Structure 1
Amino acid sequence: MDTNVITPEGYAELQQELDTLWRHERPEVTRKVQWAASLGDRSENADYQYNKKRLREIDRRVRFLRNRLSKLRVVEYNPVQEGKAYFGAWVTLVDEDDQTLTFRIVGPDEIYGKQHYVSVHAPVVKACLGKAEGDEVRVRTPDSVKLWEIAEIRYGLAAADR
């Protein structure tokens, strides 16, 4: 399965992070490093040491983002997907105890720091892919097999994402 997939929104967020780091944070931290270096003894200069470390962190993240963005494939919504659980869909599952689970199927780069975003590689997502509302899905957990019914599938941003 392709690990280099991302939603248009996820791609835009990574691009925005790269832009913010490169155009705003890095120049500001570079100025601080230059200022702190001009004060003399760098070995005992906490401002210099901290900002130099921060500059390395920014550069590392910029390299990662540039490399990652070049490899990602943006998967756009296609009306053919309507009614079935595919990449980018919001899926609501209901179990036999009427407990619900709602999540969005996204690429692995999009799950960090976001509630209800689940990687396309997760077992629950794999069980749902290609299924329609009303279909049953079986998800193997470490303890047992959990049975869910797909209650709703929708595309687009959820209210929490707008």
Structure 2
Amino acid sequence: MNKAFVREADGDDDEELEPSLKLPAGTRNYITPAGHDRLKSELEHLVKRERPHVVEIVSWAASNGDRSENGDYIYGKRRLREIDRRIRFLTKRLDVAEVIDPLRQGGNDQIFFGATVTIADANGIANTYTIVGVDETNVSKGRISWISPLARALIKAREGDSIRFQSPVGVREIDILEVRYEAIA
């Protein structure tokens, strides 16, 4: 069938990103130096080590003959597409990355990207969060994306402020106990 009549992906479009990885339109990909280094390291590993290894396996599997029932060939081609998709994604992310070093904020008590903030909720339960880039988010380590509702509410607030914000579970009120800037590992 003619390709004009069938909608097929050319492989250039990235798969639909999960909402937590999407950047607001027209914004830069703010990222800490450590997060930038991790993305570059992953990209380098994929390009220099993993992709050549998979290409070698696919080449060997293709030389074995019938490709229709060749598991190594089929799996290898699929893995190669996944690697290429990830390489495109990382390249695009790094192209729009704006590295912001939290240590340059010094003794600032106002909250900006890279701040580590200790807050207390209405019940007096304290939690500490670090505002990081979208690609560095890890809630179990207390790292929240700068585009999350909590981070957006905290930005530009100061130590000692009380703020109300709309969270996914409803309106919350929190007190800002401490603001500090430190290196993020």
TM-score by length of 2: 0.77
Indicate whether 1:155 and 2:175 are aligned: no
Write out aligned runs for 1:61-80 (5 A).
61-77=86-102, 78-80=104-106
Cα separation, partners in 2 of 1:148 and 1:115, compared to 1, 3 Å: same
1:3 Cα deviation after fit: 4.2
Indicate whether 1:57 and 2:100 are aligned: no
Q: Greater CA deviation, 42-51 or 136-145?
A: 136-145
Q: Sequence identity, in percent? A: 42
What is the alpha-carbon distance in structure 1 between the residues aligned to residue 54 and residue 139 of structure 2? 25
C-alpha contact 2:138 2:144 (8 A) present in aligned 1: no
Indicate whether 1:6 and 2:31 are aligned: yes
Alignment deviations for residues 66-102 of structure 1 (CA, whole Å, 9 cap, x no partner): 1221111111232356222110111111023111222
What is the alpha-carbon distance in structure 2 between the residues aligned to residue 119 and residue 105 of structure 1? 6
Aligned to 2:47: 22
Q: Greater CA deviation, 124-133 or 26-35?
A: 124-133
The letter for the 2-side match of 1:88 is G
Cα separation, partners in 2 of 1:49 and 1:80, compared to 1, 3 Å: same
The letter for the 1-side match of 2:112 is Y
Q: CA RMSD in A?
A: 2.0
Structure 2: any 5+ residue segments left out of the alignment?
1-23
Selected match of 1:139 from 162, 165, 184: 165
Aligned to 2:109: 83
The letter for the 1-side match of 2:78 is K
The letter for the 1-side match of 2:64 is L
What is the alpha-carbon distance in structure 1 between the residues aligned to residue 140 and residue 97 of structure 2? 19
The letter for the 2-side match of 1:124 is L
Structure 1: any 5+ residue segments left out of the alignment?
none
Q: Greater CA deviation, 108-117 or 135-144?
A: 108-117
For residue 44 of structure 1, give the secondary structure of its aligned residue in structure 2: coil
TM-score by length of 1: 0.87
1:115 Cα deviation after fit: 3.5
